[in-house]
Amino acid sequence: TAPVDCHVVIETQRGHDLGRIIIEGSAQENTGIPGMIGNYAEQRVLHSHVEGCFIGKASIGDMVHAGDIIAHIDSTAVTATIDGVLRGLLHDGLHVPVGCKIADIDPRGKPEYCRSMSDKARALGGAVLEVIDRMIHKELP
């Protein structure tokens, strides 16, 4: 909550207010549901079902298919839930608790999206630059 816990808050929830700079108050409540891409939301983000040491078996940018093994947590296989490009993946050796976000699959199937900024990243980056500029010019506390 700004200005109690931080100088400002930047809204990260997709929609009309994405990237909005909040000088007093909080961002929207986290729904825990990722944004819809290609008719998939929750299915494209993988969470750990067990606790243990994470070891990736695929790499960011790889095309994966539902059922492919993309990682192991100790001896438990982690499989892709949908077809698409692996866009996010934890690095090897991390100890993960149950429920930890471990991977993200983009169903659009375009590996080049892994090497460019998304619309959301661009909006948030622009908001951060605006905050920095306004702080430098003493327009924000």
One domain for residues 45 and 101: yes
The sign of the dihedral angle between the CA atoms of 65, 56, 59, 100 is: positive
Residue 83 lies in a domain: yes
Instruction: Supply the range of the domain harboring residue 99.
Output: 38-107
Residue closest to 74 by CA, chosen among 53, 103, 92: 53
Residue 112 lies in a domain: no
One domain for residues 95 and 62: yes
Give me the pLDDT at residue 60, please: 97
- β-bridge partners, 103: 46, 89
Beta-carbon contacts of 41 under 8 Å, excluding residues fewer than 6 positions away, are: 33, 34, 35
Q: Check pLDDT > 80 for residue 9.
A: yes
Give me the pLDDT at residue 140, please: 84
The tokens of 124 are what? 């948030």
Residue 48: pLDDT band with limits 50, 70, 90: very high
The tokens of 52 are what? 């243990």
Task: Give residue-wise pLDDT tens across range 52-96.
Answer: 999 999 999 999 999 999 999 999 999 999 999 999 999 999 999
One domain for residues 23 and 45: no
The whole-angstrom separation of Cα 47 and Cα 97 is 10
Bigger pLDDT: 74 or 30?
A: 74
SS3 (DSSP) at 84: strand
CATH number of residue 84's parent domain: 2.40.50.100
SS3 (DSSP) at 64: strand
One domain for residues 45 and 98: yes
SS3 (DSSP) at 10: strand
For residue 37, which phi and psi values (nearest 5 degrees)?
Answer: -135, 120
Whether the CB-CB separation of 45 and 104 falls below 8 Å is answered with yes
One domain for residues 102 and 83: yes
How many helices (H) and strands (E) are present in the chain, helices listed first?
1, 10
Please state the rounded mean pLDDT for residues 97-119.
95
One domain for residues 57 and 3: no
Residue 33: pLDDT band with limits 50, 70, 90: confident
* DSSP single-letter state for residue 25: B
